[in-house]
């Protein structure tokens, strides 16, 4: 599997590779050969064609000459032009602070200099936060248009497209990057042509559309190698290697890497060589050839040491340590990881690989029998994670941290389980899922670059001390100091509470009913496990590895989607997930804390001894055990004078499609109009359900069911929200998953209630039902599922009923009306859904028609 594709894409596209982004200024003419203007013109020529390394010494020379001749604007122009190579070795926030200072100087008011500062700022911001970069590039585009610099305008448009891609707006990104790509071809701007063809192809690789990516990547490579003065096509080549890896064409990937290494044009490209050698190591790792993987990683590290490329040493040092560990060469693994940890201390404000590397070292020490030292390192690693996630400046940074650092907790969990300390293992994995929940559900504002505050300086210093100390007492004191500093960043939301105080197992047990069984799943590459918790007991059971479980889940979901039943496969999946759990036979209410692909399992549709599990068990899910307990603790805050019910059904007939559907489809990148077909049964559904509730109640039907109308309601005063709408699950960019309301020709909203908007709602609902397709689906991986259901819980709902696949209009209405009828009879939420599903199952319908809905959050309580 490709190593964290999104992290690789961010690194490649945002400009971490030297010379990745071009300069945007026309050449200066009519200057004497050795004058500062002539030197600046030569530097601009190199930068225009993406050769920033070659341009840097010329810019430095020109800056000095301009200073000597008292030309401050030109000197500042040359000065800021040196920032791009600096970004390889210096912290991005520091560079942005320096740029902000330079932009306020009187010398910056010269139009050429101001435009240059904005361009440099946009390039660096892309590697810091895409939202900031998008605004800067919009300024550049407008200024370039005003000045008639159309090649610059086109490039600025392309950079906005890149920023949009990184923000998750693939539709806008595709339009802007494609337009910049075609404009570059028409204007014979080869450097821009190479960049935007490369970026377009890299984006397709990030989306795992490998075959499709090869065409633009090959075009970029061929254009770059034509006679001319275009910098080496690093983005295109690295992305093509990743595409070939994704297609399992390993021989071709190795051949391309070797051919590229042979033809690298100069020693200035050591950083590219480092990246290529690391890629070769990953290819050999994919092939299971650990000795050759180690050899390539070691070669890469030689170049990183030569460059003093601390980020590279920190990252690839961790990879080679894992490879040595896989080969059981623990002393070599220990030496490699020590070098990686030391390298990270050279970047005191960029310690993001440190927790992972500390966890790798801790795991190595555990295998060497040094349990005490191992535990201390894991604790230090988790303390760093605490600090990083509390102070991460941007959503992009948070997402990368979550992806990179989940290994810290799961590794410690495995070590604790191997020692038989299941209570500590539970607390550790709950802490991970609390962190993941915080990052998946909480929407943070961007913190712009600024001079570090006294508190931030203290936190940075404490982090460095945590890395260096081996003393448990010192670590404990440092952790207390960090906690004191971070209190100023207090977050009282559900996500914040979950992250800051994951509960111990005895606290969770006090919140479980006598008949409840909580199952916390942890998937692993070599083996998986489940912690089974009741109000009195805690046991751990071994399960098959992740790959086996994922294959069974995928196969069974395909069977369900085909409207078929396969009792044998359903029994096999039951045996893999629940078979070893003795407590399952003794409890009837099962609460699942899923991991990875288990998020997508329809547990009621599994089979045990010839019967679907829905016959004698009810199932619900929660993002973490801590979330479940916090939901139960906040339930008492529900107001008694709520409005009882709001029902929304937007797509009740064909007329709603005549206005605005094209715009909605374009906004969410749906391929066909058939995905927004009328749902005529939804009107009957929400009206029938409404009869089970006393007044006051509200119905929004047909064209009146707009997003604007829904948001205008006093939503924090409704007890039940029932939304019978179309749903759109974007598994690549979960924040864009949405409920689709009725289109409106005018108004402030686009008709899409996206995940990020749901989180901003303020609810006190006992129940939110999302009678819409795929509302319980999100990206599956280390960060599990981020979806609409979780977002409604974060917004204040106690319980959410959501769907795991697309729905049948008529049978969904039958299921929902039966569900609410059971609720009206004072059944609990899970019992009401279980009974509704059981009734439909007994009619002979396959699981597709009744097993999609699941209860998320607190399953207890009545409406």
CA dihedral 85, 86, 90, 96 (to 10 degrees): -110
In degrees and rounded to multiples of 5, residue 230 shows phi and psi of: -115, 135
Most confident segment among 177-186, 280-289, 402-411: 280-289
Q: Round to whole Å and give the CA distance between 604 and 576.
A: 15
Using CA atoms, how far apart are residues 687 and 705, in angstroms rounded to an integer? 14
pLDDT at 140: 93
Is pLDDT of 323 > 90?
Answer: yes
Point out the least confidently predicted range of 245-249, 268-272, 463-467.
463-467
Query: Left if phi > 0, otherwise alpha if psi is -120 to 50, otherwise beta: which for 522?
Result: beta
**Dihedral of alpha carbons 370, 372, 375, 376, sign:** negative
CB atoms < 10 A from the CB of 484, how many? 12
Token pair for 506: 């005895």
Question: Sorting pLDDT into bands at 50, 70 and 90, what band is 5?
Answer: very low
What sign has the CA pseudo-torsion 409, 411, 414, 418? negative
The torsion angle over the Cα atoms of residues 385, 390, 393 and 399, rounded to 10 degrees, is 50
Whole-number pLDDT of residue 391: 61
- For residue 467, what are its two tokens? 């890395």
pLDDT at 635: 53
Q: Are 630 and 434 spatial neighbours (Cβ–Cβ below 8 Å)?
A: no
Lowest mean pLDDT among 72-86, 192-206, 440-454, 581-595: 440-454
Of 197, 205, 213, nearest to 161 (Cα)?
A: 197
**What one-character-per-residue DSSP string does 511-530 give?**
TS-TTEEEEEEE--SS-EEE
Provide the pLDDT confidence category of residue 564 given band limits of 50, 70 and 90: very high
What are the tokens at 21?
A: 């982004």
- Residue 403, pLDDT score: 60
> Which residue has tokens 């693994």?
333
- Has residue 158 got a pLDDT over 60? yes
Reported confidence tier of residue 807, pLDDT bands at 50, 70, 90: confident
Residue 282 to residues 277, 402, 524, 850, Cα–Cα distance (Å): 9, 22, 20, 44
pLDDT at 482 over 60: no
DSSP letter for 320, please.
Answer: H
Q: Which residues contact 457 (CB under 8 A, 6 or more apart)?
A: none
Cβ count within 10 A of residue 857: 26
**pLDDT at position 800:** 92
Closest CA to 318 of 284, 287, 267, 352: 352
Residue 272: pLDDT band with limits 50, 70, 90: confident
Name the residue with tokens 């670059």: 449
Distance CA 629, CA 643 (A): 26
Run of H or E including 124 = helix 111-126
- Average pLDDT over every residue of 550-564: 92
pLDDT mean over 361-386: 89
Task: Please state the rounded mean pLDDT for residues 371-378.
Answer: 91
- Residue 516: the pLDDT is 95
Helix axis angle for 788-795 and 422-441, nearest 10°, is 90
**Residue 615, CA atoms < 13 Å, CB-side half-sphere:** 10
Sequence-ordered list of residues with C-beta below 8 angstroms from that of 860, at least 6 positions apart, any chain: 513, 632, 828, 829, 830
For residues 851 and 776, give the distance between their C-alpha atoms in angstroms, rounded to a whole number: 13
Q: What angle do CA 674, 675, 680 make, to 5 degrees?
A: 85
- pTM for the predicted model, two decimal places: 0.68
- Mean per-residue pLDDT, 447-470: 57
Check residues 784 and 377 and name the one with the higher pLDDT.
377
372 contact partners, CB below 8 Å, separation of at least 6 = none
Q: 32-70 pLDDT, tens per residue?
A: 667 899 999 999 888 887 778 889 999 999 999 999 999
Tokens 């623990």, residue located: 330
In this model, does residue 649 exceed pLDDT 60? yes
Evaluate if residue 716 carries a pLDDT over 60.
yes
The total number of residues written for the chain in this structure: 863
- Examine the pLDDT at 424 and tell me if it is beyond 70: yes
Residue 648 contacts residue 724 (beta carbons within 8 Å)? yes
How do residues 837-859 score in pLDDT, each as one tens digit?
A: 999 999 999 999 999 889 998 88
Paired with 855 in beta bridges are 620, 801
Position 686 confidence tier, pLDDT thresholds 50, 70, 90: confident
Find the range with the poorest average confidence among 130-144, 493-507, 524-538: 493-507
Contact 364, 321 (CB under 8 A): yes
For residue 496, is pLDDT > 90? no
Burial environment of residue 582 by CB neighbours within 10 A (0 to 12, 13 to 18, 19 or more) = exposed
The top-scoring range by mean pLDDT among 407-421, 753-767, 794-808 is 407-421
Neighbours of 744 (CB within 10 A): 19
Sign of CA dihedral 655, 656, 657, 658: positive
Q: What is the DSSP string of 521-562?
A: EE--SS-EEEEEE-SS-EEEEEE--HHHHHHHHHHHHHHHHT
What's the CA gap between 457 and 232, in Å, rounded? 39
Of 268-272, 509-513, 548-552, give the lowest mean pLDDT range.
Answer: 268-272
Rounded to an integer, the average pLDDT of 127-152 is 85
pLDDT for the residue numbered 476: 66
Closest by CA to 301, choosing from 291, 286, 292, 311, is 311
**Inter-residue contact 246 to 208 (CB < 8 Å):** yes
- Decide if pLDDT at 861 tops 60: yes
Task: Measure CA of the first residue to CA of the last residue in the chain; give whole Å.
Answer: 46
Residue 831 has pLDDT above 70, yes or no: yes
Q: Quote the pLDDT of residue 835.
A: 95
250, burial (CB in 10 Å: exposed 0-12, middle 13-18, buried 19+): middle
Q: Helices marked H in 264-309 — which ranges?
A: 270-286, 290-307
- Would you say 97 and 124 are in contact if contact means Cβ atoms under 8 Å apart? no
So what's the pLDDT on residue 351?
A: 66
Q: What is the rounded CA–CA span in Å between residue 836 and residue 852?
A: 12
φ and ψ at residue 579, rounded to 5 degrees: -55, -45
Checking if the pLDDT of 445 tops 60, the result is: no
Q: What percent of the chain has pLDDT over 70?
A: 76
Helix (H) or strand (E) holding 75: helix 72-80
The strands making up 618-621's β-sheet, listed across from edge to edge, are 538-543, 528-533, 516-522, 589-593, 618-621, 853-857, 799-803, 767-770, 718-724, 643-649, 697-701
Rounded to the nearest integer, the mean pLDDT of the chain is 80
pLDDT above 60: residue 655: no
At residue 860, does pLDDT exceed 80?
Answer: yes
C-alpha to C-alpha distance for 812 and 682, rounded to whole angstroms: 9
User: CA of 624: how far to CAs of 495, 508, 519, 636, in Å?
Assistant: 11, 11, 10, 20
pLDDT reported for residue 643: 77
Buried b (16+ CB within 10 A) or exposed e, 402-427: bbbbbbbbbbbbbbbbeeeebebbbb
Phi, psi of 554 (to 5 degrees): -60, -45
For residue 642, what pLDDT is reported?
A: 63
Contact 37, 73 (CB under 8 A): no
Say which residue, 258 or 526, is predicted with more confidence.
258
Helices (H) and strands (E) counted in the chain, each on its own, are 36, 16
- CB-CB contact of 411 with 521 (8 Å): no
| Residue range 36-45, pLDDT digits in tens | 999 999 998 8
Please determine, for residue 680, whether its predicted confidence score (pLDDT) is greater than 90: no
| pLDDT given at position 401 | 63
- Residue (of 856, 731, 736) closest to 803 by Cα position: 856
Helix (H, G, I), strand (E, B) or coil at 326: helix
Q: Cβ distance 584 to 769 under 8 Å?
A: no
Q: What is the pLDDT of residue 449?
A: 52
């Amino acid at each position: 599997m490709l190593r964290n594709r999104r992290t690789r894409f961010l690194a490649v596209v945002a400009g971490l590779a030297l010379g990745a982004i071009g300069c945007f200024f026309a050449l200066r003419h009519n200057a004497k050969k050795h004058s500062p203007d002539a030197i600046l013109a030569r530097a601009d020529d190199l930068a225009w064609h993406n050769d920033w390394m070659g341009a840097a010494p010329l810019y430095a020379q020109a800056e000095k000459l301009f200073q000597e001749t008292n030309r401050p604007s030109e000197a500042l122009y040359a000065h800021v032009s040196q920032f791009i190579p600096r970004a390889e070795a210096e912290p991005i926030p520091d560079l942005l602070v320096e740029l902000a200072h330079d932009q306020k100087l009187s010398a910056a008011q010269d139009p050429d200099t101001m435009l240059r500062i904005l361009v440099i700022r946009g390039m660096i911001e892309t590697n810091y936060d895409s939202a900031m970069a998008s605004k800067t590039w919009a300024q550049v585009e407008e200024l370039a248009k005003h000045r008639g610099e159309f090649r610059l305008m086109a490039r600025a448009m392309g950079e906005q497209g890149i920023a949009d891609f990184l923000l998750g707006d693939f539709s806008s990104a595709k339009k802007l990057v494609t337009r910049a790509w075609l404009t570059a071809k028409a204007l014979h701007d080869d450097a821009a042509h190479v960049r935007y063809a490369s970026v377009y192809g890299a984006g397709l690789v990030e989306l795992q559309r490998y075959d499709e990516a090869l065409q633009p990547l090959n075009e970029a490579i061929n254009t770059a190698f034509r006679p001319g003065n275009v910098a080496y096509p690093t983005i295109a080549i690295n992305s093509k290697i990743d595409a070939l890896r994704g297609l399992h064409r390993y021989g071709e990937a190795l051949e391309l890497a070797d051919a590229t290494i042979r033809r690298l044009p100069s020693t200035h490209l050591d950083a590219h060589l480092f990246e290529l050698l690391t890629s070769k190591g990953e290819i050999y790792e994919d092939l299971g050839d650990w000795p050759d993987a180690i050899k390539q990683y070691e070669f890469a590290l030689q170049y990183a040491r030569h460059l003093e490329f601390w980020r590279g040493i920190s990252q690839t040092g961790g990879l080679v340590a894992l490879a040595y560990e896989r080969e059981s060469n623990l002393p070599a693994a220990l030496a490699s990881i020590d070098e990686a940890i030391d390298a990270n201390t050279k970047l005191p404000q960029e310690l993001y690989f440190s927790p992972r590397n500390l966890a790798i070292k801790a795991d190595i020490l555990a295998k060497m029998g040094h349990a005490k030292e191992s535990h201390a390192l894991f604790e230090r690693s988790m303390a760093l994670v605490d600090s990083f996630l509390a102070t991460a400046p941007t959503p992009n940074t948070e997402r990368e941290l979550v992806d990179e650092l989940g290994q810290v907790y799961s590794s410690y969990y495995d070590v604790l389980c191997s020692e038989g300390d299941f209570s500590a293992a539970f607390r550790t994995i709950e802490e991970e899922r609390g962190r993941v929940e915080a990052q998946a559900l909480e929407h943070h504002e961007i913190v712009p670059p600024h001079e570090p505050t006294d508190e931030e300086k203290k936190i940075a210093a404490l982090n460095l001390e945590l890395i260096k100390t081996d003393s448990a007492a010192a670590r404990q004191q440092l952790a207390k100091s960090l906690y004191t500093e971070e209190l100023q960043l207090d977050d009282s939301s559900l996500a914040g509470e979950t992250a800051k105080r994951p509960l111990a197992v005895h606290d969770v047990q006090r919140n479980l009913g006598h008949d409840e069984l909580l199952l916390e799943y942890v998937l692993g590459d070599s083996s998986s496990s489940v912690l089974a918790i009741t109000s009195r007991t805690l046991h751990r059971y071994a399960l098959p590895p992740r790959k086996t479980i994922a294959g069974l889940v995928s196969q069974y979901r395909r069977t369900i989607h085909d409207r078929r039943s396969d009792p044998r496969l359903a029994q096999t999946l039951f045996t893999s997930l629940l078979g070893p759990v003795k407590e399952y036979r003794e409890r009837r209410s099962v609460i699942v804390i899923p991991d990875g692909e288990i998020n997508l399992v329809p547990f009621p549709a599994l089979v045990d001894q010839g019967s679907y599990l829905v016959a004698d068990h009810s199932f619900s899910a929660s993002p973490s055990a801590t979330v479940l307990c916090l939901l139960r603790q906040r339930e008492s805050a529900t107001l008694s004078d709520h409005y009882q019910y709001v029902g929304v059904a937007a797509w009740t007939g064909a007329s709603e499609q005549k206005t605005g559907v094209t715009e909605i489809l374009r906004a969410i990148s749906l391929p066909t109009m058939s995905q927004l077909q009328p749902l005529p049964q939804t009107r009957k559904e929400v009206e029938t359900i409404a009869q089970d509730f006393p007044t006051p109640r509200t119905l929004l039907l047909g064209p009146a069911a707009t997003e604007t109308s829904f948001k205008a309601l006093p939503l924090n005063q409704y007890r039940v929200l029932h939304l019978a709408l179309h749903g759109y699950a974007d598994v690549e960019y979960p924040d864009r998953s949405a409920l689709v309301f009725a289109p409106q020709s005018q108004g402030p909203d686009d008709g899409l209630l996206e995940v990020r908007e749901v989180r901003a709602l303020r609810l006190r609902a006992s129940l939110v039902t999302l009678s819409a397709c795929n509302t319980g689906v999100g990206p599956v991986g280390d960060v599990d599922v981020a979806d609409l259901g979780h977002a409604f819980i974060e917004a204040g709902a106690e319980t959410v009923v959501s769907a795991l696949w697309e729905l049948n209009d008529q049978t969904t209405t039958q299921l929902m009306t039966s569900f609410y009828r059971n609720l009206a009879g004072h059944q609990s939420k899970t019992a009401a859904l279980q009974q509704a599903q059981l009734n439909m199952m007994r009619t002979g319908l396959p699981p597709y028609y009744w097993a999609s809905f699941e209860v998320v959050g607190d399953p207890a309580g009545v409406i």
